[in-house]
């Protein structure tokens, strides 16, 4: 098996702002695995909150190049378990590698990933489209630029309720709110009351990730469901979120790929938690991997490629929130 690493700097259509940062470009690593005439592709983007850069991921993968390239035809579960000890401090790199390996494995089997997993796609959820923090005029303009059935609105300002009241005047779409750890307990409980009146479906990670007492208090009193994001990073976190959140947002780059992501979703379902997968402004490479988990999800946020000025791959396509799969096997990705 041959390992190929490619570094990209993905330009965004608009400056993307959340409660802790603003970006115009998203650095990204694409991993390609070649074997027996097939190629599999995976992706992970950099993230300052998790102290991860593309050069760091590339360096960590280069250290174990020989181990990766000497891999045979073991299953993705066996491969992930073998590689995890070497990359347990760099789950983003592990994710990119795991996505590529899952893609390659399915292509060799002559199946799409969801077919390999025996999933059916008839009831796939729609993806939301994210509106980052900006002036109200700019946020309205972004919604008008792309009319959509579900918007995920980034908040964490002093004018959050006023923002949603104004946005509501311009669309009947479902709203989801992501405060990215920007609120406190009373703020979250009180905001939930007002936001429910404004057609908000749920709140994502309103408070700091490690404040479990606060999460439990809000869980008991919020009139809206609360979905964990920064509080649910790896597999062990799912059980911790039980009775503290109503659902979990699994990010593949944070947990180390599709292989552990699938296990997290299964564990969440057993605990009665709502299931969601979110993206990290990936290109169509990463987004196409997420798409194969759709049959197991209640909600999904996989609009990353839609936020780009120019994509670097073809794969799944998204129209008005609905995902269509590529004709190709695996994740269906081809690099442009």
Say whether pLDDT at 28 is over 90: yes
> Nearest Cα to 203, choosing from 156, 270, 243?
156
Average pLDDT over residues 260-272: 98
Q: DSSP string of 141-158?
A: HHHHHS--SEEEEE--ST
121-143, pLDDT tens digit by residue? 999 999 999 999 999 999 999 99
Say whether pLDDT at 188 is over 80: yes
What pLDDT, on the 0 to 100 scale, is given for residue 21?
86
199-237, pLDDT tens digit by residue? 999 999 999 999 999 999 999 999 999 999 999 999 999
- The model carries a pTM of 0.97
What pLDDT, on the 0 to 100 scale, is given for residue 20?
81
What pLDDT, on the 0 to 100 scale, is given for residue 43?
99
What pLDDT, on the 0 to 100 scale, is given for residue 164?
98
**Pairing outcome for strands 313-314 and 334-335:** antiparallel
pLDDT-based confidence at 81, cuts 50/70/90? Answer: very high
Quote the CA–CA distance of 329 and 190 in Å, as a whole number.
48
Say whether pLDDT at 299 is over 80: yes
Average pLDDT over residues 55-77: 97
Name the β-bridge partners of 26: 10
- Whether residue 310 contacts residue 298, with contact meaning beta carbons closer than 8 Å, is answered with no
Quote the CA–CA distance of 314 and 130 in Å, as a whole number.
21
Say whether pLDDT at 169 is over 90: yes
Say whether pLDDT at 183 is over 90: yes
What pLDDT, on the 0 to 100 scale, is given for residue 90?
98
> Nearest Cα to 302, choosing from 265, 267, 251?
251
Say whether pLDDT at 258 is over 80: yes
Average pLDDT over residues 66-85: 97
Quote the CA–CA distance of 233 and 245 in Å, as a whole number.
14
What pLDDT, on the 0 to 100 scale, is given for residue 19?
77
Q: What angle do CA 243, 247, 303 make, to 5 degrees?
A: 160
Quote the CA–CA distance of 251 and 286 in Å, as a whole number.
11
Average pLDDT, the chain: 97
92-112, pLDDT tens digit by residue? 999 999 999 999 999 999 999
User: How many percent of the chain have pLDDT more than 90?
Assistant: 97
Task: State phi, psi for 246 to the nearest 5 degrees.
Answer: -90, -15
237-241: list long-range contacts, CB under 8 Å, 24+ apart: 238/264, 238/267, 238/268, 238/271, 238/273, 239/267, 239/271, 240/212, 241/268, 241/273
User: How many percent of the chain have pLDDT more than 70?
Assistant: 100
């Amino acid at each position: 098996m041959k390992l190929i690493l490619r570094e990209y700097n993905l330009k965004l259509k608009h400056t993307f702002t959340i409660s802790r940062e603003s970006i115009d470009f998203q650095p990204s690593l694409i991993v390609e695995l070649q074997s027996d005439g097939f190629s599999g592709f995976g992706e992970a983007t950099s993230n300052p909150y998790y102290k991860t850069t593309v050069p760091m991921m590339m360096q960590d993968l280069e250290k174990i190049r020989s181990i990766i390239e000497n891999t045979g035809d073991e299953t993705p579960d066996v491969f992930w378990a073998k590689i995890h000890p070497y990359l347990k401090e760099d789950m983003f790199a592990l994710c990119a590698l795991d996505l590529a390996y899952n893609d390659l494995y399915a292509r060799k089997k002559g199946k799409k990933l969801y077919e390999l997993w025996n999933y059916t796609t008839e009831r796939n959820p729609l993806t939301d489209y994210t509106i980052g923090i900006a002036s109200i005029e700019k946020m309205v303009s972004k919604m008008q630029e792309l009319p959509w059935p579900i918007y995920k609105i980034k908040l964490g300002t002093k004018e959050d309720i006023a923002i949603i009241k104004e946005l509501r005047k311009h669309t009947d779409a479902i709203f989801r709110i992501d405060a990215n750890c920007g609120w406190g307990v009373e703020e979250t409980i009180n905001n939930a009351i007002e936001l429910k009146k404004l057609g908000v479906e749920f709140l994502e990670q309103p408070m700091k990730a490690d404040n479990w007492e606060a999460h439990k208090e809000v869980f008991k009193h919020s009139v809206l469901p609360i979905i964990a994001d920064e509080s649910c990073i790896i597999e062990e976190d799912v059980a911790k979120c039980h009775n503290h959140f109503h659902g979990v947002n699994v990010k593949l780059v944070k947990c180390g790929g599709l292989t552990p992501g699938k296990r997290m979703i299964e564990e969440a379902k057993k605990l009665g938690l709502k299931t969601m997968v979110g993206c990290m402004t990936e290109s169509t490479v990463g987004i196409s991997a997420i798409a194969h988990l759709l049959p197991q999800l209640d909600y999904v946020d996989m609009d990353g490629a839609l936020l780009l000025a120019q994509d670097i791959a073809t794969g799944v396509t998204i129209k008005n929130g609905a995902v269509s799969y590529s004709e190709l096997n695996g994740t269906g990705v081809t690099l442009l």
